[in-house]
Amino acid sequence: MRVDKFTLALMNRRLVLKTIWERGAINKAEIARRTGLSLPTAIKITDELLDNRIVRSCGRQEGASGKRPEMYEFAGDCYYSVGIDFAPTVLRALVMDLNGMPVAKAKRPIPVPEDADAVIQTAAELIDQLLRESGIPLHRVLGVGVGVPGILDLDQGRVLFSPNFHWEDVALLEPLGRLLLQRTSIRWPMRLENSNRAMALGEQFFGSGVGYHYFICINLGYGIGAAAIENGELCVGASGTSGELGHITVEKDGPLCTCGNNGCLEAVASGRAIAQQARNLISSGVKTRILELAGGNIERVEAKTVFAAAREQDVAALDLVRRAGEYIGIGIASYINLLDPEKIVLAGGMSNESLLIGQIQKVVKIRRMRFAGRRVKLRVSNLGEYGTAIGAAAIQLKTLLRQGGLSLTKEQEEAV
């Protein structure tokens, strides 16, 4: 297949920028060697990236004999990106540079998740607040990434179905962009992504997935979901619904799930499910420390209350944690048997609970097929509760690398 000059130039720019981004500090001769491009081509592209302020000089190579070559690095702190995580009970947002360093972050509760207009309004207010607090010139912000659980129309920026929010066919990016335009007078590029896939992007660029070509990120929180990175790319699926680990059936006649099915993994082992199971036990008269730790108010029982009781060796709480860990472990073992990834990253709020993680690891070891996934590494994320927001913001970095740089406006050039 013949490649036209424009496509070839784009491929070469991508290759040079990705090499500089991955290596940290590198000279032009080394860029040419690692990319396989001629030295004149490597020099020309590097100089173009310098002009765009995407790459900068970082001194001379240390220890080199003769004339020391000039070194170049990715200028990740020259531009910024916004990421926001639409979790079912809270909005988490941050402004970060393209090195993954947050300059401002905050969260706000969502009182009524079903009220899409109110949630989007709150999201715009939160983003505007963070941009003001960050103090960065707004023209240095490349765009906004939005992570939402559910089935999405990425091209149209719509939420087709989000069980956790009870949303169906909700326009998200258009009203959010309009509200931000009213507040900031800037219309930024905006990208929508499933929250599990956004979380996986965060791990790929800045977390436990760095350096891995094929890994799975599993989100253990209010709900349960997963996303896979293969050959450096998100696995989306033919209709954009891949990774719905939380909606595999684990109990044929189990409890009703928010998706409308019965016995889903999310319905029996998510944070929401664990809390509901604890409330059911208390209502049935089971003696447990869980209610005491919730201040005697059954409505305040949450998954974290159950984990706190389990750490105190409360029998009922330990049984709930063991049961959830067993179901999740079976689901992960199935993933390993099917996909044989290099690594599995456990993320989300429940990934910090050592009792649960220990049970999951135990079940995975027992349930995975003999010799299957013998090289897989099971690790806990280090990105914390803003992992999905980090991944949503990283969409702009991914776009930058895919484009091989930026076509900057005059305002952006002057802001650097």
Give the CATH number of the domain where residue 188 resides: 3.30.420.40
- Check whether residue 122 and residue 177 sit in a common domain: yes
Which range of residues forms the domain containing residue 251?
209-382
Rounded to whole angstroms, how far apart are CA atoms 331 and 269? Answer: 11
Residues 250 and 348 in one domain: yes
Where does the pLDDT of residue 78 fall: very low under 50, low under 70, confident under 90, or very high at 90 and above? confident
Query: Is the same domain home to 245 and 219?
Result: yes
Confidence band for 244, pLDDT divided at 50, 70 and 90: confident
42 part of a folded domain: yes
Band of residue 412 on the pLDDT scale cut at 50, 70, 90: very low
Per-residue pLDDT averaged across 286-305, rounded?
94
| 171 in the same domain as 67 | no
Number of domains in the chain: 3
DSSP state of 26: B
Cα separation, 55 vs 53, in Å, equals 5
**Domain stop point among 74, 97, 123:** 74
> Would you place residue 84 in the very low, low, confident or very high pLDDT band (cuts 50, 70, 90)?
very high
The residue-averaged pLDDT of 14-34 equals 90
Q: Is the pLDDT of residue 408 over 60?
A: no
373 lies in some domain: yes
DSSP string across 183-236:
HHS----EEEEEHHHHHHHHHHHHSTTTT-SEEEEEEESSSEEEEEEETTEE--
In a domain, 402, yes or no: yes
Q: Is the pLDDT confidence value at 239 over 70?
A: yes
What integer pLDDT is reported at residue 10 of this predicted model?
A: 86
Sheet hosting strand 158-162, strand order edge to edge: 151-153, 158-162, 167-171
Q: What does the alpha-carbon distance between residue 315 and residue 130 come to, in Å, rounded to a whole number? A: 44
Does residue 403 sit within a domain? yes
Q: Where would I find the beta strands (DSSP E) of 34-140?
A: 55-60, 70-74, 80-86, 90-97, 102-109
- pLDDT tens digit string along 363-390? 999 988 887 777 899 999 999 999 999 9
The whole-model pTM stands at 0.89
H-helix or E-strand spanning residue 380:
strand 377-380
Determine which helix (DSSP H) or strand (DSSP E) holds 173, and give its type and residue range.
Answer: helix 173-184
The answer to whether residues 113 and 88 touch, using CB atoms and an 8 Å cutoff, is: yes
Q: What is the mean pLDDT of the chain?
A: 91
User: What is the pLDDT, as a whole number, of residue 2?
Assistant: 65
Residue 52 lies inside a defined structural domain of this protein: yes
Helix ranges (DSSP H) in 222-294 = 265-269, 271-283, 289-293
Residue 204 lies in a domain: no
Put the strands of the sheet holding 214-220 in their side by side order. 233-234, 224-230, 214-220, 343-347, 377-380
Pick the last residue of a domain from 42, 74, 106. Answer: 74
Whether 115 and 147 map to the same domain: the answer is: yes
pLDDT for res 240: 80
**84 and 20 share one domain:** no
Q: What is the pLDDT of residues 224-238, one digit of tens each?
A: 999 999 998 998 888
> What is the CATH classification number for the domain harbouring 25?
1.10.10.10
What lies within 8 Å, CB to CB, of 344 at 6+ separation is 215, 216, 217, 218, 332, 335, 336, 376, 377, 378, 379
Percent share of the chain, pLDDT over 90: 74
Which pLDDT does position 416 carry in this prediction? 47
Mean pLDDT of 288-312: 95
pLDDT band at 202 (very low <50, low <70, confident <90, very high): very high
